[in-house]
């Protein structure tokens, strides 16, 4: 397939994320980085290595700083980080981890001796150091920890940070009435919310039914599958706009329930992915490349529903995207919340009287959830439509006093957790 060194690809991916601030999924699609040219087994190894290194970066760097007191110019940082990650978290035999990291450096490089010495010392002392670390705090940037402690209290914040140390399971949505039939073929359990949760890993493309045309299932986190269900179980004849639609999981849900869906997104590449996903499922939406803060349906048409799954900090998805804490900044919230407010203001104008507005974000930040909910409650055109736990198959604790959904990564531990999410529902007067 290729003679690329998988660990070299891993180092380049880590560099792309931490130095060039690229999302890991985007970096893996960069042709120049070579991930797509690796054999399947090597791709799985590289993905696991890089994701684990990002998830445990605070711990890895703490060990490194304890061993290297003076950092020379040109320190091969990513090679050291990956080597430490293999030694301390992936149970790679010490000789293999050390030699593989050293080989990432050019022959004759003076840094080879440093890498060799640091990793050999880590092989002797690292396990004891890791055992004494506060992993949750080390692996969480201070600004996020501070915000979560203020929003949820110290205990819940600690539980959130601990939950982020484990990779999220693969969740799957199916067409209506098909979840139970697909549980066994997909080696999955049926969650109370209706999603399927895989019990093992594996490439999505190789799973049973993926290549079927039309297919009956698609990958979608259990939390992300909840907002579309707030419009009801039978949407035949109803016209609904999904204002930030790509990559299309919620659009597929709405279409499967019988709705006519306007799928709106400003990103043409992301909409191409949505079209591909819908074609695989045999579903068709009215797809529009447009600014969702200004898009209008045909003249005079008012809609039965609008879903605003708004662009946000995505801090509720850190289990799936461990690079997020190193790509986001607290200052990003100002622009994001302003954009959400514009989207919501415009969404109200698109609704007919009696139409439903569902607002959702995959964020843990109150500004991207409760604060926007409170603003919507103050709009004279809207009235609250409280969510009932039974609608979504959720524990009552996940619905707050106002009838909004607030789930955290530490919720549902008996099922393996769930992404952080917020959702609220309103009806136009």
Torsions phi, psi for 197 (to 5 deg): -120, 120
| Matching fold, domains 6-134 and 171-428 | no
pLDDT of residue 1: 46
**Residue 167 structure tokens:** 């990779």
Please indicate, yes or no, whether the overall pTM of this predicted structure exceeds 0.85: yes
pLDDT band for position 307 (cuts 50, 70, 90): very high
Q: What are phi and psi of 428, to 5 degrees?
A: -80, 130
Given pLDDT bands bounded at 50, 70 and 90, which one contains residue 110?
confident
What's the pLDDT score for residue 302? 98
- The tokens for 219 are 């990958």
Q: By three-state DSSP, how is residue 354 classified?
A: strand
Q: How confident is the model at residue 2 (pLDDT cuts 50, 70, 90)?
A: low
Give residue for tokens 């959400």. Answer: 340
Domain segments of the chain as ranges? 6-134, 171-428
Buried b or exposed e, range 130-162, using 16+ CB within 10 angstroms: beeeebbebbbeeebbebbbebbeeeebbbbbe
pLDDT > 70? residue 361: yes
Strand-pair partners of 217: 174
Q: Mind telling me the catalytic residues?
A: 362
Q: Which CATH number fits domain 6-134: 3.40.50.2300, 1.10.940.10, 3.40.50.720, 2.60.40.3950?
A: 1.10.940.10
Fold exhibited by the domain 171-428: Rossmann fold (3.40.50)
* 3 state SS of 205: helix
């Amino acid at each position: 397939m290729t003679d690329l060194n998988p660990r070299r690809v891993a180092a380049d991916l880590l560099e792309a994320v931490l130095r060039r601030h690229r999302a890991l999924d985007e970096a893996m699609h960069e042709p120049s980085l070579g991930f797509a040219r690796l054999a399947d087994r090597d791709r799985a190894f590289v993905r696991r290595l890089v994701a684990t290194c990002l998830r445990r970066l605070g711990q890895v760097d703490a060990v490194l700083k304890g061993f290297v007191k003076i950092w020379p110019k040109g320190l091969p940082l990513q090679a050291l980080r990956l080597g430490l990650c293999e030694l301390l978290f992936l149970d790679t035999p010490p000789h293999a981890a050390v030699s593989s990291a050293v080989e990432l450096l050019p022959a004759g490089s003076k840094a080879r001796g440093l890498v060799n010495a640091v990793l050999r010392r880590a092989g002797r002392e690292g396990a004891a150091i890791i055992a004494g670390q506060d992993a949750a705090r080390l692996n969480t940037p201070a600004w996020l920890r501070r915000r979560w402690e203020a929003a949820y209290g110290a205990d819940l914040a600690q539980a959130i940070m601990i939950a982020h140390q484990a990779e999220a399971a693969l969740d799957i949505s199916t067409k209506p009435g098909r979840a139970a039939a697909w549980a066994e073929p997909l080696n999955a359990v049926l969650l109370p919310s209706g999603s399927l949760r895989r019990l093992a890993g594996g490439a999505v493309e190789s799973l049973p039914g993926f290549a079927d045309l039309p297919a009956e299932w698609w990958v979608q986190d259990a939390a992300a599958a909840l907002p579309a269900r707030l419009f009801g179980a039978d949407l035949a004849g109803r016209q609904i706009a999904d204002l930030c639609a790509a990559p299309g999981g919620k659009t597929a849900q709405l279409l499967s329930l019988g709705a006519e869906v306007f799928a709106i997104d400003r990103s043409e590449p992301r909409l191409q992915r949505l079209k591909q996903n819908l074609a695989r499922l045999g579903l068709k939406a009215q797809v529009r490349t447009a600014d969702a803060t200004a898009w209008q349906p045909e003249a005079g048409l008012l809609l039965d529903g609008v879903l605003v799954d708004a662009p946000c900090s995505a801090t509720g998805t850190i289990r799936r995207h461990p690079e997020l804490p190193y790509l986001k900044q607290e200052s990003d919230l100002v622009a994001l919340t302003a954009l959400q407010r514009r989207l919501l203001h415009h969404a109200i104008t698109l609704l007919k009287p009696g139409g439903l507005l569902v607002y959702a974000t995959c964020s843990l930040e109150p500004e991207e959830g409760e604060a926007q909910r409170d603003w919507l409650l103050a709009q004279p055109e809207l009235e609250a439509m409280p969510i009932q736990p039974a609608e979504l198959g959720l524990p009552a604790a996940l619905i707050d006093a106002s009838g909004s959904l607030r789930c955290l990564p530490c919720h549902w531990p008996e099922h393996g957790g769930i992404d952080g999410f917020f959702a609220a529902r309103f009806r136009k007067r």
